[in-house]
Structure 1
Amino acid sequence: MKRTIAALLCGAALALPAIPPPAGAASTALAPLSIRGADVSSLPKSEAFGGRWLDAGGTRRDALAILRDSGVNTIRLKVWVNPADGYNNKSRVLAMARRVKALGMGLLVDFHYSDNWADPGKQYKPAAWTSYNFTRLRQAVYDHTYDVLNGLRSQGTAADMVQVGNEISSGMLWEDGRSSNWGNLSQLLISGTSAVRTVFPSAKIILHLPDGGDNALYRWWFDNARSRGVPFDIIGFSYYPVWHGTLAAFRSNINDITARYGKPALVVETAYPFTAGNDDFLANVVGGSEPYAGYPATSAGQTNMLRAVKDVVAAVPNGRGLGVVWWEPTWTAVRGSGWDPTDPNSGNAWENQALFDFNDRALPALAELGR
Structure 2
Amino acid sequence: QKNAWKKVWKNYKGIEVSNVFEYVRSQGINTISVKVAVNPTKDKEGNESYLSLENAKKTLKEAKKAGLKTNVTLLYSDDITYAGVQKLPDGWDTDSAEKKALEYTKNVIKELKAADAVPTMITIGNEVNYNFLNMSSGDGWEGFVAMSKISKMIREEGIKPAVSVSALTTDASDIQWIIGKLGNADVDYDYIGVNIYPDTHNDNYVKTLKNTVEEKAAGKQMIISSVKCPWKDSEGKASITTQTKSIYDYLQATINEKNAGGLIYDDADFVGAWDSFFDENGQAMSSLAIFAYA
Fold shared per TM-score above 0.5: yes
| Root-mean-square deviation over aligned CA pairs | 2.2
Whole-angstrom CA distance in 1 between matches of 2:30 and 2:137: 33
- Partner in structure 2 of residue 325 of structure 1: 264
Aligned counterpart for 1:60 among listed residues 3, 16, 26: 16
Point out where structure 2 has 5 or more consecutive residues left out of the alignment. 43-47
Displacement of 1:265: 1.4
Aligned counterpart for 2:225 among listed residues 247, 268, 276: 268
- Partner in structure 2 of residue 137 of structure 1: 97
Query: Structure 1 residues 112, 370: closer, same or farther in 2, change over 3 A?
Result: farther
Q: Are residues 1:228 and 2:185 paired?
A: yes
- Partner in structure 2 of residue 355 of structure 1: 277
Secondary structure, aligned partner of 2:261? strand
Greater than 6 Å deviation, 4+ residue runs: none
What pairs with 1:89-238 in structure 2 (closer than 5 Å)?
89-130=52-93, 134=95, 136-174=96-134, 177-178=135-136, 180-200=138-158, 203-211=159-167, 214-238=171-195
Please tell me whether the aligned partners of residues 139 and 191 of structure 1 are also in contact (alpha carbons under 8 angstroms).
no
Displacement of 1:154: 2.7
- Partner in structure 2 of residue 306 of structure 1: 247
Whole-angstrom CA distance in 1 between matches of 2:183 and 2:260: 20
Please tell me whether the aligned partners of residues 146 and 199 of structure 1 are also in contact (alpha carbons under 8 angstroms).
no
What does the per-residue CA deviation read over 1:262-308, in whole Å, with 9 as the maximum and x for residues that have no partner?
111122212211137xxxxxxxxxxxxx358xxx7510111111111
What does the per-residue CA deviation read over 1:94-134, in whole Å, with 9 as the maximum and x for residues that have no partner?
1221111111111111010011011114110111214xx52
Whole-angstrom CA distance in 2 between matches of 1:196 and 1:264: 17
Please tell me whether the aligned partners of residues 113 and 173 of structure 1 are also in contact (alpha carbons under 8 angstroms).
yes
Secondary structure, aligned partner of 2:212? helix
Please tell me whether the aligned partners of residues 111 and 166 of structure 1 are also in contact (alpha carbons under 8 angstroms).
yes
Displacement of 1:196: 0.7
Q: Are residues 1:364 and 2:290 paired?
A: no
- Partner in structure 2 of residue 286 of structure 1: none
Please tell me whether the aligned partners of residues 73 and 370 of structure 1 are also in contact (alpha carbons under 8 angstroms).
no
Whole-angstrom CA distance in 2 between matches of 1:214 and 1:79: 30
Secondary structure, aligned partner of 2:70? strand
Secondary structure, aligned partner of 2:116? coil
Letter in 2 for 1:57: K
What does the per-residue CA deviation read over 1:65-116, in whole Å, with 9 as the maximum and x for residues that have no partner?
3312222111011110010122222222112211111111111110100110
Letter in 1 for 2:245: N
Secondary structure, aligned partner of 2:87? coil
Whole-angstrom CA distance in 2 between matches of 1:211 and 1:370: 27
Whole-angstrom CA distance in 2 between matches of 1:324 and 1:183: 28
Displacement of 1:258: 1.9
Displacement of 1:138: 1.1
Aligned counterpart for 1:257 among listed residues 192, 196, 213: 213
Aligned counterpart for 1:70 among listed residues 27, 35, 46: 27
| TM-score when normalising by structure 2 | 0.88
Letter in 2 for 1:363: M
Query: Structure 1 residues 273, 219: closer, same or farther in 2, change over 3 A?
Result: same
Please tell me whether the aligned partners of residues 271 and 326 of structure 1 are also in contact (alpha carbons under 8 angstroms).
yes
Displacement of 1:255: 1.3
Please tell me whether the aligned partners of residues 143 and 195 of structure 1 are also in contact (alpha carbons under 8 angstroms).
no
Whole-angstrom CA distance in 1 between matches of 2:266 and 2:210: 19
Please tell me whether the aligned partners of residues 167 and 194 of structure 2 are also in contact (alpha carbons under 8 angstroms).
yes
Secondary structure, aligned partner of 1:77? strand
Please tell me whether the aligned partners of residues 124 and 172 of structure 1 are also in contact (alpha carbons under 8 angstroms).
no
Please tell me whether the aligned partners of residues 123 and 171 of structure 1 are also in contact (alpha carbons under 8 angstroms).
yes
Please tell me whether the aligned partners of residues 271 and 281 of structure 2 are also in contact (alpha carbons under 8 angstroms).
no
Query: Structure 1 residues 216, 179: closer, same or farther in 2, change over 3 A?
Result: farther
Letter in 2 for 1:210: S
- Partner in structure 1 of residue 45 of structure 2: none
Secondary structure, aligned partner of 1:128? coil
Please tell me whether the aligned partners of residues 274 and 297 of structure 1 are also in contact (alpha carbons under 8 angstroms).
yes
Whole-angstrom CA distance in 1 between matches of 2:277 and 2:33: 15
| TM-score when normalising by structure 1 | 0.71
